[in-house]
Amino acid sequence: MKKIYPRSGDTQIVYLNAVVKDPAISVGDYTIYNDFVEDPRLFEKNNVLYHYPIHAEKLIIGKFCSIACGTKFLFNCANHSLKSLSTYTFPLFCEEWGLDERDMQVAWDNKGDIVIGNDVWIGCEAIILAGVHIGDGAIIGARSVVTKDVPPYTIVGGTPAKEIRKRFAPDVIFRLRTLEWWNWPVAKIRRNLSHIVRGEVDKLELL
């Protein structure tokens, strides 16, 4: 997408994939980020933290997600290895301490990519830690610290984030995951928005 702002005259909300340039960050169409404190176009700088090339980690965000102000994605380099006898990152300063640059690899515990599904709502100032996968349709409460994977269509909150409840009954979740409306052509989504916003799963299944 090339369009940056979804609404005329509103520069606090951006289509995220129109402003992200880092090839290690992938964002699906129509995913939005809102920031009323900083310029939302600076998402990579202000919100994707400790994302250094040493681990080749990726941030993958699906389509139609809503990411609130101050959400942070903390990658592996934010951690200090628990295998070391010291919490100090000596390998990071290999030049200062005369270490082999290969020692940098052991300075962090590598937990992997952060993967956010489609139609996920992340509340204000939530923190998502390295290696976490969040399923389609999930909701992350404001100021939550997400340390573990979140199943699809699950609401979590707190520090560390814990399940509060499912958004829908199990059969409805199964049907929504089967429909995957976010992968429909845009024209089809537009035609059926009234069914989507009214929660009319039965009518969507008849299409």
pLDDT digits over 14-69, tens only?
A: 999 999 999 999 999 999 999 999 999 999 999 999 998 877 899 999 999 999 99
**55 in active site:** no
Q: Say which residue, 92 or 183, is predicted with more confidence.
A: 183
Active-site residue (options: 51, 55, 80, 133)? 80
Query: What domains sit in the chain, N to C, each tagged with a CATH number?
Result: 13-79+112-167 (2.160.10.10), 169-207 (no CATH)
Q: How many CB atoms lie within 10 A of CB 49?
A: 15
- Distance separating alpha carbons of residues 85 and 106, to the nearest angstrom: 12
How many Å apart are CA 139 and CA 184, to the nearest integer?
22
Question: Which tens digits make up the pLDDT trace of 110-168?
Answer: 889 999 999 999 999 999 999 999 999 999 999 999 999 999 999 999 999 999 999 99
> Euclidean distance between the first and final Cα of the chain, in Å?
27
User: What's the predicted TM-score (pTM) here?
Assistant: 0.94
CA–CA separation, 72 vs 87, rounded Å? 23
Alpha helices by DSSP H, listed for the chain, are: 43-47, 94-97, 170-179, 186-191, 193-197, 201-205
Q: Count other C-beta atoms under 10 Å from residue 171's C-beta.
A: 9
